[in-house]
Amino acid sequence: MSRPIIIDGHADTLHSIWNGSPRFAERVEGEAIDMPLVKQTGLTAQFFAISTIDGGRYVEPLPRWGLMLLDLFHRQVEAHADDILHATCADDVLTAHADGKLAAFVALEGGDFLDGRIELLRMYHRLGVRLLVLTHFRRNALADSTRESSTGGRLTPFGVEVVKEMERIGMIVDVSHVADAGVDHVFDIAEKPIVSSHANARAVYDHPRNMTDAHLRRLAENRGLIGLSIVPFFIDRGCRTFARFMDHMEHVIQTAGIDHVGFGSDFDGFDYVEDPLIEGLEDISCFARVGEALSANGYSDEDVAKVLGGNWLRLVRDVLG
């Protein structure tokens, strides 16, 4: 089989770089993502998230924080121009794959970055952002987060406006942290595929951040995608194993279909001391390991290629061109 396209839909590595943790150009033992590991594993594309949270707290004012991290992203791309390509569409992924580079997308994690202004959405798009997670850890001007699920709140009028404008300008709508009623509302109005970039299956492990079977089925109808996460407390606090992760993978495949699942690791997005990484899911080499497990379970090379990155590539082309 030719070298596969491998795409990860969510990592908070920019925050690790901001805080001085990894030297991205060098291999640092214990780091989940760096350029030597990218080259070793063949990772094709990575969505780098800019989060509302840093050091366990919201960073205010958020529009300024977003611009500071966007500047860091662009400086990293410039510093590693021989190895990284700033990606904004599917053809950029294919170009990076052919040239042996990493296609780097940049995403915003939390509609709070918009500060209630649709103009800021358009400006972030002009600066290269191609995915927005509508909420993060709190209610905002767009919708309730999973922490307010009991309210039954759907999208606000501004949230509806944002989703429609994202589809118009070419930006991926991400419902990862959105309360269930808000996710239903997004499905009701979406005209293009949406994602839940870093979540797992709630039927396998009951966590509010994981997707219900009803939402997985709607995701298939929408031609969307779920990126499965390696976060231990999304997999199962009582069963932290690679096999348990594969239970989530198998359930999503059986519920939504092989065309609607990929990766959304969330590497660098949680406390590794409090929640140690699961053996076999410690860094980006895990993606190939999952592919091998799928092959061992009888999936064809074509289906494995879809999970590794083909499904993400299709969605990127559908939404971003």
- What CATH number is given to the structural domain containing 55? 3.20.20.140
Close Cβ partners of 30 (under 8 Å, ≥ 6 residues apart): none
Q: CB neighbours of 9 closer than 8 A, spacing ≥ 6?
A: 47, 195, 197, 198, 225, 227, 262, 263, 264, 265, 312
Cα separation, 201 vs 222, whole angstroms: 17
Residue 272 lies in a domain: yes
Residue 84 lies in a domain: yes
Positive or negative torsion for Cα 25, 30, 31, 36: positive
pLDDT at 23: 61
Instruction: Note whether residue 2 is domain-resident.
Output: no
Domain count, the chain: 1
**C-alpha closest to that of 176 among 34, 279, 51:** 51
Res. 273: pLDDT tops 60: no
Residue 29 has pLDDT above 80, yes or no: no
Residue 24 pLDDT exceeds 80: no
40, 3, 251, 189 alpha-carbon torsion, rounded to 10°: 100
What is the chain's mean pLDDT, rounded? 94
The answer as to whether 179 is a domain residue is: yes
Let me know if residue 172 belongs to a domain.
yes
Tell me which residue of 210, 209, 188 sits closest to 201, measured CA to CA.
210
The per-residue pLDDT for range 127-163, each reduced to its tens digit, is 999 999 999 989 999 999 999 877 888 999 999 999 9
Polymer length in residues for the chain: 321
Write out pLDDT tens, residues 173-219.
999 999 999 999 999 999 999 999 999 999 999 999 999 999 999 99
Q: How do residues 59-110 score in pLDDT, each as one tens digit?
A: 999 999 999 999 999 999 999 999 999 999 999 999 999 999 999 999 999 9
User: Is residue 2 classed exposed, middle or buried when 0-12, 13-18 and 19+ CB atoms within 10 A define those classes?
Assistant: exposed
Domain of 254, in residue numbers: 7-320
Per-residue pLDDT band at 22 (split at 50, 70, 90): low
